[in-house]
Amino acid sequence: MKGVYTAIVTPFTKSGEIDYPALARLIAFQKKGGVAGIVVGGTTGEAATLSFEEKKELYAFVKKEAAGLDLIAGTGTNNTAESVKLTEMAQGLGYTQMLVVTPYYNKPTCRGLMTHYRAIAATGARIVLYNVPGRTGLNLPAAWLKELAALPQITAVKEASGNMAQLVDYLELVGDTRFAMLSGDDFTITPFVALGGVGVISVLSNVAPAETVALTNAALAGEFATARRLQRELNALNRVLFIESSPIPAKTALHLMGYCEEILRSPLETMEPQTRAKLVDVLKGYRLI
């Protein structure tokens, strides 16, 4: 794993169904932008409000439509049995890599996490462990990651705490070869790669794939003067994409860019007028609309 993986949104029709023609347009946009891969059914894809059958249909569509890209299916939940079931379903569709978030709400101990990930690892799938304390209420300490390193099926880590000191703690205890370390925070691509990361699972690349690829590739090539400049240039866009809960601004931006409807599943709602106006201004500034 290396480069930009887009945590792709799940577009919906006005009647609330998954909008597959819009998704095909989004995938084509990602391919044109040069991303390495796509993560389907993650946080940005509103996985929490997708049913099992919807995920099965969605994953099958992406597997076919995004052929040629490195694909990862989001199969993590706060229910171990459900996570195993989702993982086995995705495997049946041809996926080999799964994004598995640390269980939210339950707040398990390290031993509980080991039991959870061991059960999913038993499927044979390769696991991208996803640490996102702002969503789950559980931060993964470095000592726990060292314990989880005993499970060979965990091959990568999406670290979305935004805490560079924690990344250094991870690397201190597990080294920089045990896991493919991927930033889960677009604000930190340059420092993350500088410290030993290999890429990003990105929200930003939904709306600016080519620009996110240019930034990440510069950092991976050690061209840090260029990477720093691009990181700064994209900062205002990054900031506005998180002005409300993600993926609300990203999906709104894609609507304004002509790719999909501005439809989110409850309890998410469309943007507030004042924040939407700010988003419009920033998108115009980047000539995205």
Query: Would you state the structure tokens that stand for residue 138, as one six-digit string?
Result: 């559980």
Say which of 117, 130, 170, 259 is annotated catalytic: 130
DSSP for the chain? --EEEEE----B-TTSSB-HHHHHHHHHHHHHHT-SEEEESSTTTTGGG--HHHHHHHHHHHHHHTTTSEEEEE---S-HHHHHHHHHHHHHTT--EEEEEPPTTT---HHHHHHHHHHHHTTT-EEEEEE-HHHHS----HHHHHHHTT-TTEEEEEE-S--HHHHHHHHHHHTTTSSEEEES-GGGHHHHHHTT--EEEESGGGT-HHHHHHHHHHHHTT-HHHHHHHHHHTHHHHHHTTSSSTTHHHHHHHHHTTSS-----TT--PPPHHHHHHHHHHHHHTT--
Q: Are 5 and 238 in contact (CB under 8 A)?
A: no
Separation of alpha carbons 162 and 97, rounded Å: 23
Say which of 117, 158, 170, 251 is annotated catalytic: 158
Query: Would you state the structure tokens that stand for residue 164, as one six-digit string?
Result: 């560079």
The yes-or-no answer on residue 56 being catalytic is no
The yes-or-no answer on residue 158 being catalytic is yes
**Residues taking part in catalysis:** 130, 158
